[in-house]
Structures are given as C-alpha cells and as structure tokens.
Chain A
Amino acid sequence: GENVEQHPSTLSVQEGDSAVIKCTYSDSASNYFPWYKQELGKRPQLIIDIRSNVGEKKDQRIAVTLNKTAKHFSLHITETQPEDSAVYFCAANAGGTSYGKLTFGQGTILTVHP
C-alpha cells in the first residue's frame, strides 16, 4: 500500500520567514496530493492540493510543488505569520482511487515566532 513520509516533524521559524515541508510517497498510482492544517481537536482543514497532471500550484502565500518522477511533493509558505502555527499534514490518495481514501504523512508542527 501507499506509504507517505513527511519531514521535518517540527519546524520553527521567525515571522516573515518562509517554511518548507517535504513529503515522499511510494505508490506511483497516486494522483492527488492534499495538504492539511489541523488545530487541536478539530478536523483537518484543506489548505492546498495538487493533482498529478500539474507540477506546481500557488494560492497567495502558499504553494505546492510535485515531482512525480521522484515521488515527492513540498509545501511552501512564504511570509509566515503567527497564525500559521499549527500541525500540517501531507497526504496522498491510495492507488489513484477516490480523493477521500488518503494516506497521511506523520505531520509537522510549525511554530512561527513573532
């Protein structure tokens, strides 16, 4: 089955700096790669996603890149703000099936210091 590895597990940055979180996946059939932000005790919140027919996608301060050959994708947050502090998860859909059947990375605790 799909295996998703996420690094780093913790990331501390100063306000205004950039943050990068990286993930690798194992199933070459995966074709959907979402990124989630999760606050304690709440559901994951989709912040950006990318499909396998696209190499990069950007939404304001957030961007995601995908390298299908190397099977890795990354989240880039620019101009970080304290409210960006949260746990971030990458995910990939298993076997290229439903976008709801997801394998998650281990998570990254992002702390943005004012």
Chain B
Amino acid sequence: GAVVSQHPSWVICKSGTSVKIECRSLDFQATTMFWYRQFPKQSLMLMATSNEGSKATYEQGVEKDKFLINHASLTLSTLTVTSAHPEDSSFYICSEGRASTEAFFGQGTRLTVV
C-alpha cells in the first residue's frame, strides 16, 4: 500500500488565493521530505527540501516566499502556494527522503489556477 499520502489530488483555485497541499508519511518518521513540480510534458524538478523542525531549503530559482513549506512533525509536510497565478498551474508531488532506499512519492496534486 501507499507509504506517502498526498492531498488533495487536484484543486482549482482563483488567481490571488492560496492553496495548501499536504504530504503525509504513513509508515516512516520522515525528517526530510522533498517537493517537486512537473509542468505538462516536462520532467520533475526539485523545488525544495523540507526539514522537520527547521527551515526548508529551496532550489535556485524557487521563491521561498511564494512556496511556503512547513514540516512541523515527522509525518507531515505542507506546501502552500501563496497568491497563486495561472503560471503556477502544475503537478506538485512530494516524496520521502530515506537515506538508502527508494524514494516513495505521494500521489501528486494537480493545481489549476483560473
């Protein structure tokens, strides 16, 4: 069964509003989780590393004030897209950060900003 649960699976929001995406680790205390973004017909791009109890680490070019990451517990990381715009429409997907086993991905969230 799934070891990483991501919600919602899809969301439509109005331009200018904020959207929160949750990523839960179901069987592992994940001190580190990762957030990826995938635009249509493109590859997955790492956005940020979510660290339990501390600030997230963002990849170059990703606006930390726009994509707020909170990792308050060992089983939950959240990504909030603030003041969303149509260009933020994408597939967002999280994964666990295990040291030496395969990465487990959430189901992904299809965000559409209208």
Contact = CB atoms under 8 A, between A and B. Distances in A.
Interface residues of B, number: 27
A41 interface: yes
Interface of A is mostly: loop
Interface string B55-85: 0000010000000000000000000000000
Nearest to A93: B103
A106 interface: yes
Nearest to B105: A43
A111 to B, nearest CB: 15
Interface string A43-81: 110100100000000000000000000000000000000
Interface residues on A, range: 20 to 34
Given A1-B60, A43-B107, 17 more contacts: A41-B91, A42-B108, A43-B93, A43-B105, A44-B44, A89-B43, A99-B102, A100-B33, A100-B95, A101-B34, A101-B46, A102-B34, A102-B44, A102-B46, A102-B95, A106-B42, A107-B43
Given A43-B108, A44-B105, A98-B97, A104 B45 contact: yes
